[in-house]
Structure formats: C-alpha cells, structure tokens
A and B are shown apart, each in its own frame.
Chain A
Amino acid sequence: MTPDVRTSRKCRGDTGPIDSTQLHTQAFANNKAPFVCYFHGVAPPTHMECQEEKPIIYTMENKPIVTCAGDQGLFTSLYTSLAQQLPREPMEWRRTYGRAPKMIHLEANFVQYKEELLPKEGNKALLTFPFLHIYWTDCCDTEQYKSSVKEDMMRWQNSLRAHGSADWVIIVVESNDNKKKNKTNILPRSSIVDKIRSDFCNKQNDRCVVLSDPLKDSSRSQESWNSLLLKLRTLLLMSFTKNLGRFEDDMRTLREKRTQPGWSFCEYFMVQEELAFVFEMLQQFEDALVQYDELDALFTQYVLNFGAGDTANWLGSFCAPVRSWSGLLLRRPIDMEKRDGIQHGEASLLDLRSYLFSRQCTLLIFLQRPWEVTHRALELLHNCVQELRLLEVSVLEGALDCWVFLSCLEVLHRIEGCCDQVQLAANCSHTVGLWAYATDKLKSLGELCGLVSEKGPSSEDLNRTVDLLAGLGDEKPETVNSLQSPYKKLKEALSSVEAFERHYLELSHAALEMYRAIGRLRSARLVGKSLAEFYMRKGDPERAETFLKEALKSYVSEGWSLPVTHTRKQIAECQKLLGRTDDYLQTSALLAGDVNLTTEERKHFCQEVLTFAGKSGDKSHKVTLSMDVFTQLTRLQFRPATASVHSGADLQVELTLRCLMPISVHIQQLAASIHFDLERGGTNGRSKGAQRQKNAGTVEFCRGNLSAGPPSSAAGPSLELDEMQDRSPSDNSLSCTGVVCKNTHLVMRRHDSNSPPDTPNCLSPPAVTMKEGAQMLKVQDVTLEPGNNSIVFTAPSEQPGTYTLRQLYATVGHVQFVLPHIYPSVQYEVYSQEPHLNVEPLSEPLLAGLPQMVKFTLLTGHYTVKKGDALQLSNTDTMPILPSTSCTARITNPALVGESILSIQSSEKVTSISLPPTLPYHTLEFQLEVLCVIPSGIDRPLVVCPQMSIDCPWSIYSTLLALTFYIPFKTKHSLLSAGNRSYIQVCVQNVSDVNFTLAELKLTGKQHASLELQSLNTKKQQLLCSKHSMFCLWEVRWKENLPSCLQCGFSADFSPLNQDISAFKPFHYQFQLERVTTLYSVEAEILPPAGEQHCRSGLLCGLEVCITRLTEPAEGEMAEESKTDNDGLKTTKLMYEVADSSSNWAVCGKSSGLVSMPMAASATHKVQIEVMPLFAGHLPYPKIKVLKYLPHTAAVAIQPDPDSCVENDSLSLLDKALDEQAETASIRSRGSVHSVGSVDQQQKGVAVPRLEPFSPGQVFNHSHTRQVLVLPATDDHIIEVNAT
C-alpha cells in the first residue's frame, strides 16, 4: 500500500489527535506548510513573495505514527503536554552498518489505534507504519481492571501480536484525584501496575510505565513525565532501528535482483523513495538525499550501459518519444503527477529526471545548500540532453530547448525564492551558468521559430512554434497567478518578434552583467558576441559593432588568431552596413592579408579595397589606411652599402616589401618622405661608419606576423644594446666601458593595464598624418605581387646633410596606405668633398739619380675641372721634371670615364700641366717622370727630400709636396799600404732593391800632377746586386812629395740592370785622404834562445823590434811633431808596445817603452824584449804597436780629445808615470778605473803627455801576421791537444 494522495486541502491539524482517515492525506499535503498557500491559491502573489524571501527551515509536518489505544479521554487530556515535551530533548540514535550515531529530536503523530492501521503482510510502506503502540489507562480499581480494562488490553495485545508488532507500551496514569474518588475499593497503587506487568509484560517490565499526577505541577509529576518521555523516546528509536533496518535489508535484496528479467526500476524507485521519505520525516535530510542520489546514480548507470549496448527492458518506457517538455517544477515539495507517472511506469525520461531533481532540490534547500542546486541543475540539464541523445529518444526539434529554458528559469526562480538579493549578487558565479544556458537556448529557439530574422516568422516557423507550445501543456496551478513564471516568459517570448527580443535581451544582459561582475570577461565577451550576432540579424549593426569591437580587442591582445579573424569578418560586415568606408576598408585590408581565411575570401576583401580605390568620382575623398595590413616593409638596403655618398652622386634604396594581399596590386605611387637635416661638421660622412658597417647598408625590419604568433605585448620590445667605451681625452686610455640600452624608452615604458599596447592589428588604423616632406623618394606605377617585392628608389642627394626616411606611402587610387614611422630609423648621408691632389711615387721607394715615375691623383670633389685649368709646378734644380711626349691622364669614377693626353709646358721656373675637363667627384690620374739629383759630398744623407710647390686652380694656396728619394749607393774609402806603396780602396754598397750595372769606374786625384792613380780594376762593367758591395782598388804613385792631404773623386756610371748605355747615370763620390805616405816600418824578429834552433814553449826567447824611418820628414810633420828638440837633432818620440791579445806569449820584463827617433830617413831603432811562448806550434808574432808620444805641452794637454781609445792609452801611461813604475804587464786592462780622476786632472790644466795613433798606412808592420815555429818543451809528457 502506498500513500493515497488526493488533492485534499487539509491544513495541519495538530491541535489534537488526528483521525486516522486523514492520516495519509496529511502525510503529503502538510509536507511543506508554506506551500499550502499555493494549493489554496488564496494568497495574493505579493504576500507569497514576501513569504518566500526569507529562507524558512521547514519543520517536518510528517511525523512517525504512534497509535493510542485505551482510554481516549485520558490521552486527549495529556496529548498537548506529551506532544510538546517529546521533542524537547534529543536522543542519540545509534545506527546500523557502521553509520555514525546521530542526535535526533523525536516527534510523533499520536493517532487513535485502529486495527486497519497495522500493516498487512507484505506491505512495505514505511510512512504509514506505526512505530509504537501505546495503551493508556488510569484504572486504579482492581474490579474495573479485571472486568473491562484487562480484556481490552488483551485484545489490543493480540491484534498487535497478530501483525508481528512488538513495539508497544502500556502507560498507567495515576492521580491522587482518582485515588480519592475511588477510595472504597482502593488497592495499593502498585498492585494494578504489578498486575498489568505480570499479565502482559512477562520479562519486559519496562513495557509498563507509570505516569503520576501528570496534570499537577509537582516535582514528582515532573519526574514521572521525564521517565515516561525517556522511555517513549527509547522505544521509538528501538522501533526505528529495527523497522528501518528490516526495510533496508528488503530494499537491498530487491536491488540485488536488478539483473533479473522482471525487475523494474520504477518499482525499486518507489521502495527506496519510501526510505527517503522516512529520513525526511525524521529530518535526516542528508540521508534522504543519499537515497535520491543513489537512485540517480543507478539510473544514470543504466543509461550508460544502454549506450554501451547493455539494454534493460524496463528502460524501454523511458525511450518513448518525448511528448511534454514542461520543464522542472520545483515549487511543490512532491510533484505527485510525476510520481504517479513513475509509479505506473508511464514516466518519460524527462519526467523521471525532473521528479528526481525536484526532490533533490527540496532536500538541498532544507540543507541550506542552494548553490549546489544550481550546479546540479546545470549538470542535470546537460546530462538529460546527452541521455536523450544516447537513448535515441525522438524529440521534436526545439522541444529540448524549451525544456532546458524553462528548467533554467525555474531553478533560478527557486533559488531566488530562498535567498536575499545580497546573497544572490555574491553568488553570481553559481547562477550565471544557468543564465547563460537559458540565453543560449532562447536564442536557438528564436532562430528556430524565425523570431530573429528581420522579416519575422514564416508560416512554417509559426507551425513549429505552435507545436512547441503544445508540448508545454497547461501552466501549472502554482504559477498561474505569477506574472513572471518561466512558462509565461517562454510563451510570450515565442509569441512575437518584439517580445522575443525583449526577453532575449533581458537574459543576455543579465548574463553579461553577471559575467562581468565575477570577472569572467572572456565569457562576457562571448555573450556579447552572441548579442552582436543577434543585432546583426535584426539589422542593427551599430549596436553589434560595440560588442564585436570589445571582443576583438580581447582576442587581439591575447593573440587568438582564429577568433580574431572570425570577429573581424563580422566587424567588416557591420562596418559595411554602417557605411563606415574608412573602417571597412581598413578591416577589409586586414582580412585580405589574413592567412586564416581561404584565398577566395581574401580575394573578396582585397577586391573590396581595390574596387573602392578604382571608383571614379569624388576625388577629394581619400582614405588613408595603415600600411601594415597591406604590405610590410621587411628590408631596406642602400646601394652603395655605406649609405653615404657625395652630393649629386647616385644612391639607391631598395625596399623589400612583403605584400600581404592575395592578388597582385597595382600601385600608382610609392613614396617615402624624407626628413632632411643639414649636418655640420662631419662632412665626409664617415663619422657614423661603425654603425653602418654592422649591417652593411641593410636594415631589417622585424614585425610580428599579423595573424600568427604571440602578441607583441607579451614579448615586449627587444633590447637594443650597444657597446659603450669611454676614453679619457688626454691619453686615449680606456676609463670606462659598458653596455647601453638604446631603446630604454620602449623597454621601460609602463605597461598600462587598461589599454593594451599598440599592436599592428588594432582595430582602427592609427591616426595617420602624412607629413609633407619637402623631399621624397618616389616610384610610379609599381605592381606588388603577393609575397616579397623589391622596389628600388633613387634617393635625392643634392645637398649635403643627413636624410632620414620617415614615412612610407602607397597610393592606390583613392586609397593611401601609410606607414607612419619607419623604425628603426633609416638614414643616409650626403657629403661634400674638397678637391684634393695627391702625389705619390708610382713605386716605393723612389731612387735618386734615376728617372722615377710619380703618380698624381686628383680627386675633384665638388670642383669641376674646366678646360684651361692647369697645375703649376715650381721647378727646382734638384728635381727636374723630365719632359715626356706622351703623358696620359685617366679619368675614373671609379670606372674609367676617359683618357686624354696632357700637355705639359715647361718654362724656366714653372712647369704647367693643363688638365682635361673633369666632372666633380671624379678621379684624375696621371704620371710624371722626375729625376732627383744625387747630391755630391762626403757627408750626404741617405735620403733626399726635394720639395715642390704646386698651384692648383681651385685654391689660392699652393700645395707643398715632399717626396722622399733614396740614394741607392753607400760608398766608403780606405787607404791601404804595403811597405812604401799605398793603395786606395773604394767600397760601393748597393742599398737599394734594384740590381745595377756599374761602368766607367774612375778615381781622380786633384791638385797634383805628379800623382798617378793606377786602376787595379779589371772589369769594365760590373754587376752590383741589391744589398751587395763592390770594392775597387787603385795604387797611388807619386813622384814628388805628396801633400798630407789628398783630394780624390770617385765616379761611376750606373744604370739598372739590363738597360742600354744611354740610361747610365753618373754617380760621384768625393773624398779626402791625409798622410798617404808611410813613415815608419816595423820589423820584428823572434830569436830562439841561445843554442836552440827553434823556440820552445816555456823557454824565454828574444823579440827584436826594429823601427825604421822611411821618409824624410815632411813640412807639416816637422811643424807638428818636432817640438821636442834634443841635442839640436830633431827627434820624435815614439812609443812601442808589445801586446799579445791571444795569450800565446808572455811578455817578460818591459812590454812597452819610449823610443826617440831621429827625424831622418832610414833612422833605425832596435828594441830587445823578452817573450816566452806559452804553447807549441806556429804561433803568430805578438802584436807590436807604435804610437806617437806627445810630450806634455800645455796646448796639447788641455785639448780634450774625445777619441776614447787614445785617451785610455794615454791614461794608462799616466798611471805609470804616477807610480814611477814604467812597466805593467797589461796596460789596457786598467784604464777605465782611473778615467774619472784623470779627466779631472786634465781639466785642472795639469800638463800631461799624450799618445796619438798614427793614421792608417803611416806605419807598416813587416811582421804583421808572421808566425814562428815553437817546439814543445822537451820533457813534456803530457800532450795537450787544443781543438778550437
């Protein structure tokens, strides 16, 4: 038996015990007291709404049933206090299956006992199950007890037992009044109770409870009440546990049977719901919700299994075509209509889901979890749509949209009903999904029913609308009087275009606002886009544009290319409708270059632009668009790469433009404006060379692709770093170095959070102002093909200065594409150059004495060489310009422009070279042959630098030119003598890199006729290779006395090797010889020791030195040297010295000494010296030096002689003089020690004797290089071998 529900209007009637006939009705009708108003339909809507505003926690009106038998009058009198006191104290309910114990406030519906109330066999209904049976009696009279009460109790007990109910209690009420009344047959109070206990409660004494003086306000009475209530509670709970446990077990058993063929979900549903009801009744909403969730999950699983091919039979009923789509109904606590449907297996899937959800919703609201309702609702709606699809249930098109729409609104309405505005606003995030979903559905319904199009619905659309409305059925009675019910809204919205628009906009804006409020801006924009689409359909592009632009901005800033393209396409349509030509063209241009579109679409948009451009008509209407969308400047290249030319020169700029259009576009004019800056100072244009060299005249422009890749805002501008070095101005040393960022203003720019940084894809073209530059790079009529195009400009270069490329324009008919800033900035420089003449040797080095070619290079600079212009070269004697017949001038630029023959006119002082006419910035080159005369003289320099002054026609100043000529030869001479004979040797060294032939070697003596120089050179011509030397020898003979000084001139002809005789040039060398004649001869002889034939090492032997005067004293000599007269005979003093540098000899005794030589020919002086050979073998003679000894005449002594060698010797001698020791073993070794002191002495004017060497050739040493055989010592055992 299930509760039989009628639409009874019974209100709560808890003023007294309820008649059992009313029970079933009450169980449901009273379930939600506030909703009773709906049932009655009497409360005005306003009243209803205020009532709904407050969330009310409804107490369950359904209570566990407790039957009362026995004395009804007694019970009625106690009912009120019993019903009040029972729920006052909570009881702990211990649960089975490990569920947590709960504290529970027990209430009960006390009903009069009737046998029908007891459940029959097999009836599983729980709601109507009497959990406890009470028998009331106040009998205190034994007789009465025995006569009637006992029997009644018996009957009661028996019927209970028959129905297997063991949950009973007997309450005996005692009162003093009763006692007093029946004083006569009074029995001890306990006896009646004892009797009852013994009669009925064998072993269960607790089943009989005494209530004393219940209506009195005494402590005793209170105590007995408390024990009674406790007993009742305990018994009730025991009954719950037992009965619910049994029920649950049965339910589980039923569930386990679900694989059996006859199993029905609907049946099972009813059983489990019964349990849910009981939990709800006990206010265990959580447990109740669990029951429904289990049912939900079970059903879902079946549907999924169905999808997987596992069909359950009972599911067939849910697969029936959907006929009604009236939406959720959440205003009733229990939707009995649907429940009946389920019970009878007639419910559709939507019905079941709706019912299930309405129950869940009710419980969730009891649990104060309204936001879970919204989540579950959205999930449910999505899920239902999916399940219908999965079960392949046929649904009328649009029906589900209706259902979802109604359901969304119903849920929202329900939630609004139990929350206040503040709560709602704070929890937008939970409800917004439903709003958006409803909006979506309404939109698709509108589209389906033709309510969105401008024309309005067609008849077909109207038919469809009628069908859809039919499925809604009649409005539910709960909402009939509500003006804003979802049902009314839908019906109204579908009724007319205007109403639809109103409702749709209302919903959309609500969703939009909510999304905005919770910061889901992207979602808001998507709703906005959807709105825009609606407006577009309605033919209201103006409103659409706002939404689209906002959306586009966000897509662009976040770099979502596909949505960008799509939105932009919509904007284009919008702008076209609005007639915003400029914007439309800009967008079209953007779209034409958008790779996300098909080529066809791109061509279409490109054509749109071109069509406008080609339109003839209003010339003044020009549209300026950003160039970025049309074509991108990717590279700029200068030719020449230095980007620096002289004024008037040709400079080409090659632009590489990547055309983004899908088709080739003809451009009437492409121009780049130039900013001209008159640069002062660095006129040669190389001051910024360092920067230029890096990219060699090429500037790469890197711009992100419009459609793909991260937005530039994300990456930010890249750092441009430059190395920086700071050098101190004084010595150019590095004082500081570092790296500087050149574009700090871009990198460090504060990123405004509100406005995204400029991206090339911003909606409207940037405010483009065409700066009218005075100068422009221009090309006319270019066709840009898709992809990279190369365009060459010729840059203006008239005025010197810096030219900066600023903007780029492309004109296509009425459309002008402008690139407002060319960045990084591109500059080129034009400089002006002064004419410059440069003279340099054709080949290094220039050699003096030979004709040499000199190259003249004239850089004309800005100067134009006119006809008649000539260079005036001042002639110099040392460097005559050799006239040549054919001198050709080359004019280059730098390629050869022309050649012409120069005419050179030489006058005495000036050589004039007429220049051929030459254009500016050309180079004029010619060569002249010059000869540098080798200066004669002894001390001539190695290089000659004759200077030449040139007068140029462009300047009033003469230019001085210095060339350096090298003398090819270095000459040395020396005098050699052999006895009386003298020879002159001339050494010629070729210092140049050229090989020469020398001829006509001559030596001439001057002044002396008697002098005869006999050449000993055999060859007529002599090859003298580079860096080699040549020696020539002449014997000097004379007849008369020779002067002490002899002037000689050496001359030779030379020419570079392999040139004919005419090319020979003379070379002279003048020198002077003094004291040519031999004065003395020195002969030395080594005499073996006495008795020996040969010298022996280690034995003393004699050295006999014989100095002989060979010539008569000459006049000069007399004057010079014979100042020390002795005995009237003129003598000179000589000093001899024997020194053996190679340690072959040991000089024993005197090694040096003074000799007085008579000033007469053949005067001889012999000196004997003892020497000892130290080694055996052929030993060279010890060296014998003869020096002039000059006595200490003041004149000579003071004369400082810088010759260090002589000085040292003389000082050595001084030593000896000071020591009074004439002889030392080594003179040389000690000189330096005393040098300072001796110089001091000299400077003090102390007269000291002096030594002076003879000039070469004045002393002839006969024994020079002679050797003497020395035998080893006889007793030498040791043979010493020296290998050197």
Chain B
Amino acid sequence: MAVCIAVIAKENYPLYIRSVPTQNELKFHYTVHTSLDVVEEKISAVGKSIGDQRELYLGLLYPTEDYKVYGYVTNTKVKFVIVVDSSNTSLRDNEIRSMFRKLHNSFTDVMCNPFHNPGDSIQSKTFDGIISGMMVQTG
C-alpha cells in the first residue's frame, strides 16, 4: 500500500498530503513536489495531441531507489500523487489504478460538499478515513 498520498491543486499547492507517520514527512513533501515536474511534463505531452481521450492515470512518474511515485490528474488539473515503497513488489499497475480511482471518487465527494470551499485544503474525515485505508498499516 501507499506510503504517501497527496492531492495537489491546479496551482500546484497541496490540498492534502499525508504520509506514513513513521517516516520523514518532509522527505515525502519534497518527493511529491518534485514529482510535479514530471506530472507537468506528462500533461503537456498529452495536450499536444488534440482530441484524444485523455487518460487520467499518468503511470509511474519516476522511480527512486526507495519509492515509486505514481501520478494521476483530473480533468480540472487537480493532481493525485501516490508514493509506494519500492520494496512493495506485490503492487501491480492495476492496483495503483484502482487506488487512484478510489481517491478520485472520494475527492469528488469532498468537492460535492456544499460547505467545502474548492481550493481550501481538505479537512474531511471521510476522506481521511479512505486515505488511511490506502496507506500502509504500520505497527
């Protein structure tokens, strides 16, 4: 399962970022932030071919020695980033996709909340719960 899940606004500021508590949170922030480079690269690459149905799932953004970073971008250019431990070899691409789909659904629910101000950081407990479900259970 994921070690860090982030939702990033269109303007590239974090709407939600949560990582496994045992590890260095800061490192994940840097990792996710840097991954935006690749996200932007991929988005702009897709944008060039007009008219094709855009795949929201961006796939593996970049691997590092310890982590694999996957990306997903909604039609409103909100980015989802999931960081997975490299040692976690059991995760298949399909599972990552389904995680993103779940994340997207949950995010949509948050946006549907009339009391939520789009652009504000996400405070929803339900969303939190779903994220927790996708994160590694440690300890």
Contact = CB atoms under 8 A, between A and B. Distances in A.
Are A and B genuine complex partners? yes
A520 interface: yes
Nearest to B68: A382
Interface stretch (B36-44, B49-57, B97-105, B131-139): B36-44
Nearest to A304: B89
Interface string A678-703: 00000000000000000000000000
Interface string A426-456: 0001000100010000000000000000000
Interface string B25-46: 1100110011011101100000
Interface stretch (A557-565, A580-588, A1196-1204): A557-565
A325 to B, nearest CB: 15
Interface in A384-401: 385-386, 389-390
Nearest to A385: B65
B41 A390 contact: no
B11 A522 contact: no
Nearest to A708: B121
B25 to A, nearest CB: 7
A315 to B, nearest CB: 15
Given A521-B37, A522-B34, A714 B29 contact: no
B38 A520 contact: yes
B63 A382 contact: yes
A857 interface: no
A566 interface: yes
A440 to B, nearest CB: 8
B14 A560 contact: yes
A389 B87 contact: yes
B58 to A, nearest CB: 15
B13 A710 contact: yes
B29 A563 contact: yes
A386 B87 contact: yes
B119 interface: yes
Contacts of B124: none
Contact of A562 (B12, B29, B37, B120): B29
Contact of A563 (B30, B40, B86, B90): B30
A710 B30 contact: no
A386 B90 CA distance: 13
B9 interface: yes
Contacts of A519: 37, 40-41
B6 to A, nearest CB: 10
Interface residues of A, number: 36
A108 B25 CA distance: 63
B9 A714 contact: yes
B75 interface: no
Contacts of A518: 41
Contact of B13 (A437, A515, A526, A714): A714
B33 A714 contact: no
Q: Specify the main secondary structure of chain A where it touches its partner.
A: helix
A562 B121 CA distance: 14
B119 A715 contact: yes
Contact of B29 (A307, A386, A560): A560
Contacts of A390: 87, 89
A1157 B109 CA distance: 111
A560 B26 contact: no
A714 B15 CA distance: 12
A555 B33 CA distance: 9
B41 A710 contact: no
B119 to A, nearest CB: 6
A378 interface: yes
Contacts of A386: 65, 86-87, 89
Given A522-B36, A708-B121, A382 B13 contact: no
Given A433-B62, A520-B38, A522-B37, A562 B26 contact: yes
Interface string B1-21: 000000001011110000000
Interface in B66-90: 86-87, 89-90
B106 to A, nearest CB: 20
A662 interface: no
A439 to B, nearest CB: 13
A370 interface: no
A548 to B, nearest CB: 13
Nearest to A429: B41
A523 interface: yes
A523 B14 CA distance: 17
A710 B87 contact: no
B65 A382 contact: yes
A331 B31 CA distance: 34
A382 B26 contact: no
B63 to A, nearest CB: 5
B62 A562 contact: no
Contacts of B36: 522
Of B30, B38, B121, most A-chain CB atoms within 10 Å: B30
Contacts of B89: 304, 307, 386, 390
A374 to B, nearest CB: 13
B33 A563 contact: yes
Nearest to B14: A560
A519 B120 CA distance: 28
A486 interface: no
Given A379-B63, A520-B41, A560 B33 contact: yes
Given A382-B86, A389-B87, A522-B33, A559 B13 contact: yes
Contacts of B119: 710, 714-715
Contacts of B37: 515, 519-523
A710 B9 contact: yes
A437 B90 CA distance: 25
B64 interface: yes
A522 B31 CA distance: 10
B33 A558 contact: yes
Contacts of A130: none
A560 B86 contact: no
A711 interface: yes
A709 interface: yes
Contacts of B13: 558-560, 710-711, 714
Of the candidates A437, A558, A711, A715, the one having the most CB atoms from chain B within 10 angstroms of its own CB is: A558
Interface string A508-527: 00000001001111110010
A950 to B, nearest CB: 63
A559 B14 contact: yes
Nearest to A379: B63
Contacts of A563: 26, 29-30, 33
A554 to B, nearest CB: 9
B57 to A, nearest CB: 19
Contacts of A558: 11-13, 33
Contact of A526 (B11, B34, B63, B90): B34
A262 B33 CA distance: 50
Contacts of B65: 381-382, 385-386, 437
B37 to A, nearest CB: 4
A340 B101 CA distance: 49
A304 B41 CA distance: 32
Interface of A: 304, 307-308, 378-379, 381-382, 385-386, 389-390, 429, 433, 437, 515, 518-523, 526, 555, 558-560, 562-563, 566, 708-711, 713-715
Interchain residue pairs A-B with the least CB separation, the first 10: A559-B13, A520-B37, A714-B11, A562-B29, A558-B12, A522-B37, A710-B13, A522-B34, A523-B37, A304-B89
28 contacts: A307-B89, A308-B90, A378-B63, A379-B63, A382-B63, A386-B65, A389-B87, A390-B87, A429-B41, A518-B41, A519-B37, A519-B41, A522-B34, A523-B34, A523-B37, A526-B33, A526-B34, A555-B33, A558-B11, A559-B14, A562-B26, A563-B26, A563-B29, A563-B30, A708-B121, A710-B9, A710-B11, A715-B119
Given A437-B65, A558-B13, A559-B12, 14 more contacts: A307-B89, A386-B87, A386-B89, A519-B37, A520-B37, A523-B34, A558-B11, A560-B29, A562-B25, A563-B30, A708-B121, A711-B11, A711-B13, A714-B9
Interface of B: 9, 11-14, 25-26, 29-30, 33-34, 36-38, 40-41, 62-65, 86-87, 89-90, 119-121
